[in-house]
């Protein structure tokens, strides 16, 4: 028996498919979440898990849909499962997905916070501005690496997780257009920055 029953649904048919699943017996809302698919596709995946409490042994029903990153909007399922409202509000503020017809209020973040913290291309600006203790190489003292007259570092610079390569974000050539979100996300995983950029 399959561990989960999964259905991929187009974003236009989302609300209808959720209602149909409820009417098919999957009447217990488990959770709803969002996944940033950057690097694979320019979309957010919305995942909804439903259970049938009359058949506890039955696998949960997993409904997924994808919405475009540049215009992420989806019909709210709050009218089908009222409990999904909290999950949608969380996904809305953390990923910037708009749930049409849902409760537009914030759930966790303060009202004056701007940004979408769980998008993979979100730069941790406070980290970029703070000195990272791990930027030093073994055998390096407390003097900054790039002081004038210092010998060139023999190895490539390290950046902490959450801070992109300065050549992509921060010290980017002003003549270039802003970096693609996928490029920012790819370079913000931490470690040594690439020597040669394509």
151 binds other proteins (CB under 8 A): no
The verdict on 140 binding other proteins (CB under 8 A) reads: yes
Of 144, 142, 153, 156, give the one whose Cα is nearest residue 190.
156
CA distance 24 to 39: 35
130 is a site residue for other proteins (CB under 8 A): yes
Q: How, if at all, do strands 158-159 and 98-100 pair? A: unpaired
Name the residue nearer to other proteins (CB basis): 33 or 162: 162
Binding-site member from 11, 20, 37, 132 for other proteins (CB under 8 A)? 132
Q: Does 180 sit near other proteins (CB under 8 A)?
A: no
DSSP-assigned letters across all residues of 129-144 = HSPPGGGSPTT--SS-
- The site that binds other proteins (CB under 8 A) totals a number of residues, namely 13
Other C-beta atoms lying within 10 Å of the C-beta of residue 30: 16
In the complex with other proteins, the residue whose CB is nearer, 41 or 130, is 130
Q: Report the residue from 108, 137, 153, 197 that binds other proteins according to the rule CB under 8 A.
A: 137
Binds other proteins by CB under 8 A, chosen from 56, 111, 141, 148: 141
What is the rounded CA–CA span in Å between residue 68 and residue 86?
22
Q: Which of 27, 160, 166, 170 binds other proteins (CB under 8 A)?
A: 160
Residue 141 vs 174, nearer CB to other proteins: 141
Nearer to other proteins, 40 or 194 (CB): 194
191 forms bridges with which residues in the sheet? 159
Check if the beta carbon of residue 12 is closer than 8 Å to that of residue 73: no
Based on the shown chain and the rule CB under 8 A, indicate whether residue 158 belongs to the binding site for other proteins.
yes
**Cα angle vertex 139, ends 193, 165, to 5°?**
10
Among 56, 111, 133, 151, binds other proteins (CB under 8 A): 133
Q: 158-159 and 61-68: which strand pairing?
A: unpaired
* Contacts to other proteins by CB under 8 A: 130, 132-134, 136-142, 158, 160
């Amino acid at each position: 028996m399959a561990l989960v029953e999964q259905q991929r649904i187009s974003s236009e048919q989302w609300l209808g498919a959720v209602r149909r699943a409820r009417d098919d017996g999957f009447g217990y809302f488990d959770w709803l979440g969002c996944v940033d698919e950057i690097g694979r596709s320019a979309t957010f995946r919305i995942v909804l898990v439903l259970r049938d409490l009359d058949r506890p042994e039955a696998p949960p029903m997993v409904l997924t849909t994808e919405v475009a990153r540049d215009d992420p909007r989806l019909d709210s399922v709050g009218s089908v499962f009222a409990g999904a409202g909290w999950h949608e509000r969380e996904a809305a503020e953390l990923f910037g997905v708009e749930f049409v017809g849902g409760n537009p209020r914030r759930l966790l973040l303060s009202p004056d916070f701007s940004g979408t913290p769980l998008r993979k291309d979100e730069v941790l600006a406070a980290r970029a501005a703070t000195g990272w203790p791990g930027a030093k190489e073994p055998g390096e003292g407390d003097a900054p690496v790039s002081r004038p007259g210092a010998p060139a570092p023999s190895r490539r610079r390290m950046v902490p997780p959450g801070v992109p390569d300065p050549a992509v974000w921060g010290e980017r050539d002003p003549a270039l257009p802003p970096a693609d979100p996928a490029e920012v996300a790819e370079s913000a995983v931490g470690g040594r920055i690439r020597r040669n950029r394509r």
